[in-house]
A and B are shown apart, each in its own frame.
Chain A
Amino acid sequence: MTRRALVLVGLLVAGCASTGQVSLGEVREFADASARLGGYAELSRRYRDTYERELPYLSPQAERVARDTDARRRAVFDDFVAIQKTLVLYMQTLSLLAGDGRYELSGRVDDLGSGLKAMTDSGLKQRHVAAYTGMARLLTRVIASRYQNRSVDTMVRDGNADVQTLIDAMIVLTRIYEKANENEQKTVLGLFNAEIPMANRNADRMLVTLARVHLQNKTAEYRLIDRRYKLAQQGLTKVALGHQKMRENMDKLRSEETRHMLAGYVHDLNLIRDALSGE
């Protein structure tokens, strides 16, 4: 969590070096594609809402445990989303530095600030919160000053470690979402798998038929959602790799080779985004 503060530090340090604005098409496209990559936020919401979906299938005792877990999922949801917001803001800022004038980021800094209150509940130390808030205030000033004398390379260099950390956290969370989803699936489908074969009296026929239809629908639903966890993880991995490569090729960002490589990541990210929005 403290890394978020460090991202902001990175931005500020970037502000101290001055090489003027540049136009780097591929960097901008990569940053745009990274900022637009879907999946994580939606899967975070799905994870948050696990209880509602499971509720009809739970025994009273299981429901009591589930209700408690539900409260805890909801308590940290904003923080999970705040991680992503930070990354998106970073990528949009990077895009801006690379010559894109479309983003207006001034209002977004308030978002970052408001994410902090909940974080104290998720084990964040008070001094981290203070540091983060201070940085957010400074970043506001940086953005308000219209990014004079910022450069892409200083930002990528100083931000890379934190970008990697944030993305790593998002991937870890997405994996846990995936596991929870699998457990949910077994909760929902498992009941039918046991009950349907036990209901073999004539009087059960209609009920069994309805149960089979329900089981069929639910199975299809989970098959669709399963893919999304993998896609989201692949997308995040691409973003992390692409940023890492930019960092490694800092001195030759304008070379044909680097631009070609970045274009490859953009292509992959767009494919993943299409796959995520397709279903």
Chain B
Amino acid sequence: MATFSHSNPAPAADADITPTSTGLLQPAGSALPNQASTPDTIVTAVAPDTPPATQHADATGPDADGVARANALSNMEHVVDLADSVVCIADDLHERILQEIASYNGRTMPDAQKALLRALTDDELLLRQYAHALYANATTFVIHDLAQPQHRLMALTAEAAEKIRRIGVIGEVTGLVGGILLLVGSIARGQFSQVGAALEKIQLHNAALKTLKPSSPTKT
């Protein structure tokens, strides 16, 4: 069931195990006319220059147990919040996919469109796994000082979720989702040095998407 074809709809038949999100991060081929290729080019131009967010505070042994525990708890709550917002994005994406399917209203969907929706479904699954990873992190209190990136992240993820809800053409979602996947993926794996670049990527996508008028009114 899970081996769907991914973002290259043309040779869709084989079980191609190309990672979905990396596929989506590249300009995704001719089958998707409105694919957000513009933001991607912007990203590659700018992302390398962004200073890496080195928030990897080496656990400076807190003096009092109480302080350490309070920090651990507040960190844990932040991580749970972050995981919740990743779940929200996955929910919005899911909702958007279902809307797209419903808009066909029983008519047969072109294979290319099916392939796109399946690729997005795979992305949704991956987002949910990253949320799981964050929940696991929360329970083990292993994330150190992430407060600052987390705050920025919360704001951005909320904004991204709003975008997904409002985007008119489903193809436009893919670039944004790719950025989010990269971001939460690096957080969940504790690769904090990548967070800055990923944040930048999402920001650029968001900015680019703002200029794109939805081509058709979304059904809310």
Q: Which residues of A contact B (CB under 8 A)?
A: 2, 50, 56-63, 65-66, 68-69, 72-73, 75-76, 80, 122-123, 128, 172-173, 176, 179-180, 182-184, 186-187, 190-191, 193-195, 197-198, 200-201
Contact = CB atoms under 8 A, between A and B. Distances in A.
A176 B73 CA distance: 13
Given A59-B2, A65-B188, A187-B128, A194 B139 contact: no
Interface residues of B, number: 52
A172 B76 CA distance: 10
Contacts of B97: 194
Given A2-B65, A190-B124, A198-B109, A50 B138 contact: no
A191 B1 contact: yes
Q: Is the interface of B mostly helix, strand, loop or mixed?
A: helix
B108 A200 contact: yes
Select the residue from B94, B106, B125 with max chain A CB neighbours within 10 A: B125
Given A69-B133, A186-B90, A194 B121 contact: yes
Contacts of A173: 139
A183 B185 contact: no
B132 A69 contact: yes
A190 B131 CA distance: 15
B125 A123 contact: no
Q: Is the interface of A mostly helix, strand, loop or mixed?
A: helix
A193 to B, nearest CB: 6
7 contacts: A61-B17, A63-B2, A68-B133, A122-B140, A123-B72, A173-B139, A194-B121
B139 A58 contact: no
Given A194-B98, A194-B117, A179 B80 contact: yes
A176 B80 contact: yes
Contacts, number: 126
10 closest residue pairs by CB, A with B: A65-B129, A62-B125, A59-B122, A69-B133, A62-B129, A59-B2, A61-B19, A62-B126, A180-B135, A72-B136
Nearest to A127: B65
Contacts of A182: 87
B4 A59 contact: yes
Contact of B129 (A69, A72, A80): A69
Given A183-B128, A194-B117, A57 B1 contact: yes
Contact of B2 (A60, A73, A80, A122): A60
Contacts of B60: none
A50 B108 CA distance: 36
A59 B3 contact: yes
Which of A57, A122, A187, A193 has the largest number of chain B CB atoms within 10 A? A187
B107 to A, nearest CB: 9
Contacts of B137: 72
Contacts of B91: 186
B174 interface: no
B102 interface: yes
A58 B135 contact: no
Contacts of A123: 72, 140-142
Contact of A193 (B87, B98, B122): B98
B61 to A, nearest CB: 8
Contacts of A176: 80, 135, 138-139
B141 A69 contact: no
B132 A190 contact: no
Interface in B199-220: none
Contact of B101 (A2, A80, A197, A201): A197
A179 B135 contact: yes
Interface centre among B76, B102, B121 (most CB of A within 10 A): B121
A56 B65 CA distance: 43
A97 to B, nearest CB: 28
A262 B91 CA distance: 44
